[in-house]
Amino acid sequence: SLARQILDFTKGREPKIEVVNLADILRRSAKLSTMGTQVRCDIVSPDGLWGVEVDARQIRQVIHNLLINACQAMSAGGVIQGFIENLIVPAGSNLDLEPGPYVVVRIRDRGCGIPEAKLREIFEPYYTTKESGTGIGLATCRAIVQRHRGTITVTSKVNVGSEFRVFLPACQIFADEEENLKPVAVSTGGGNGSRPSIQSNGTIFPPGVIPGSGRILVVDDQDSVRDAAERLLKKLGYDPVTAASGQEAVSLYKEYATTEDPIEAVLLDMTLPGGLSGDEVMTLIRRMDQNARVIATSGFFSDDAESTFRQDGYVGILPKPYAVERLSQKLAEAMHH
């Protein structure tokens, strides 16, 4: 069964979820899958690629399998094209995905193509065009990606080629942000130009990244968003607390208001499902504390959102996914508000 295939692949192993750069996975997989063939893989990847929070081993195997299929479709040799890009999926799209930010991997071959009648079958558990093989099937690939809240699509034309697209939800930080915030040895030599910020624990921050301190409340219904923000805030020097709902956020703000270390600023998601909305949370927090520093976060801000939200009492907005530089600057700005 498909469930057994996935179980055999994962071998009962607990998923190891981490923020990864899909471009790195694509490059390494391309090198391995084309080794010993007459095929090469050209990869196009943008700067500022968003990160994804996944089990890297599972997603690496999915990408590798798609590349192997592409190589086999081009037995006479040729060039596979690999593209990777950031994408906002709007509400009402024809993709079976929640609206929001995604990273998309596109693998395009110039092989034999797949007949239209077969396109509906290729993701079925028992579908194969091979007499034997050691990889995982397309059904397993799709199931693994779906377990990561993504999807796989395909377009193909006989004697022209095929393109597979893998959609994975973007994490709320860029792919290399956590790598940029690690303790390193600090030189005491001189030099010109922008100087990095250095924490007492030896962590060095690139120019433009502003460390800070104080208790920050992160309000978001997505576990991955809260976890990523919590890790970044700790590395920046803040003391984060998190809430998965509007009601929990209001309760935490009230609870910490009576302590020696009250909440200094709030990162508030504006698209909380069910219960209290983002604006309702803002209203209740401002009733408790007229000087509350609330930063609105969302992946769907309009061009004039900054001025609109400031008029409503917010100290600013932070579009998702956000880079650590922008996060640190917004918090520094809020703390001096």
Domain hosting 137: range is 2-173
What are the angstrom distances between the C-alpha of 219 and each of 56, 227, 244, 293, 295?
A: 27, 11, 6, 13, 10
Examine the domain organization and report whether 214 and 131 are in the same domain: no
**Could you identify the residue written with the tokens 């700005």?**
333
pTM metric for this prediction: 0.59
Examine the domain organization and report whether 138 and 224 are in the same domain: no
Q: Quote the pLDDT of residue 172.
A: 58
Cβ-proximal residues to 52 (8 Å cutoff; 6+ apart), any chain: 19, 20, 22, 59, 103, 148, 168, 169, 170, 171, 175
Question: End of a domain among 126, 147, 173?
Answer: 173
Q: Are strands 161-174 and 151-157 parallel, antiparallel or unpaired?
A: antiparallel
Residue 293 DSSP SS3 = coil
Cβ-proximal residues to 126 (8 Å cutoff; 6+ apart), any chain: none
Please name the amino acid found at residue 98: E
CATH number at residue 6: 3.30.565.10
How many independent structural domains does the chain possess?
2
**Domain-embedded: residue 322:** yes
Examine the domain organization and report whether 218 and 168 are in the same domain: no
Largest CA distance in the chain: 72
**Could you identify the residue written with the tokens 């995604």?**
102
**Domain-embedded: residue 127:** yes
Examine the domain organization and report whether 111 and 259 are in the same domain: no
Question: End of a domain among 173, 199, 219?
Answer: 173
Q: Which residues are bridge partners to 297 per DSSP?
A: 269, 318
Please name the amino acid found at residue 183: P
Query: What angle in degrees, to the nearest 10, is found between the helix axes of 138-147 and 56-73?
Result: 150
**Domain-embedded: residue 289:** yes
Q: Is 48 left (phi over 0), alpha (psi -120 to 50) or beta?
A: left
**Domain-embedded: residue 294:** yes
Examine the domain organization and report whether 91 and 235 are in the same domain: no
CA dihedral (95, 97, 103, 107) positive or negative: negative
Examine the domain organization and report whether 22 and 142 are in the same domain: yes
**Domain-embedded: residue 65:** yes
pLDDT by residue for the chain (337 residues), tens only, comes to 445 554 544 444 556 778 888 999 999 999 999 998 999 999 998 877 888 888 999 999 999 999 999 999 998 899 999 999 988 888 888 888 988 889 999 999 999 899 888 887 888 765 555 544 444 588 889 989 998 999 999 999 999 999 999 999 987 555 445 555 443 333 333 344 444 444 544 455 666 788 899 999 999 998 878 888 898 899 889 999 999 999 999 999 999 999 999 999 999 999 888 889 999 999 999 999 999 999 999 877 877 888 899 999 999 999 887 778 889 999 999 998 7
Examine the domain organization and report whether 12 and 118 are in the same domain: yes
**Domain-embedded: residue 329:** yes
Question: End of a domain among 149, 173, 197?
Answer: 173
**Domain-embedded: residue 307:** yes
| Angstrom distance (rounded) from CA 125 to CA 133 | 15
Q: Quote the pLDDT of residue 200.
A: 44
**Domain-embedded: residue 190:** no
CATH number at residue 247: 3.40.50.2300
